[in-house]
Amino acid sequence: MTWQLIFTEQYNRRAAKFLRRNPAIESQYAKALELLEHNPHHPSLRLHALSGKLSGLQGISINLKYRITIELIITDHEIILINVGDHDTVY
């Protein structure tokens, strides 16, 4: 079963800014979103729960340096994209 990715206006602005700064990883970013849509628990995404001020959210990896924070709504099979960037920016 596929999941519905929900792109908020705020996330779209962050993603556009992120991709302008990091055009070399655009294909990795697209692949991460594709995997997320089909299987958020795919091992290469390294899905993990966040804590502290981001408690209730999860993080996935685009690659070793860049992350996307998400909110999984399991009952509706929805994934709300929250933020994208390097580890220190996102967390």
The residue with tokens 């959210």 is 57
Segment 27-82, tens digit of pLDDT:
999 999 999 999 999 999 999 999 999 999 999 999 999 999 999 888 889 999 99
CATH number at residue 85: 3.30.2310.20
The predicted structure's pLDDT at residue 15: 96
Specify whether the CB–CB gap between 85 and 14 falls below 8 A: yes
pLDDT band, very low/low/confident/very high, at 91 (cuts 50, 70, 90): confident
Read off the tokens for 81: 């994209």
Contact 9/75 with Cβ under 8 angstroms? no
Number of domains in the chain: 1
Domain extent, residue 86, equals: 4-90
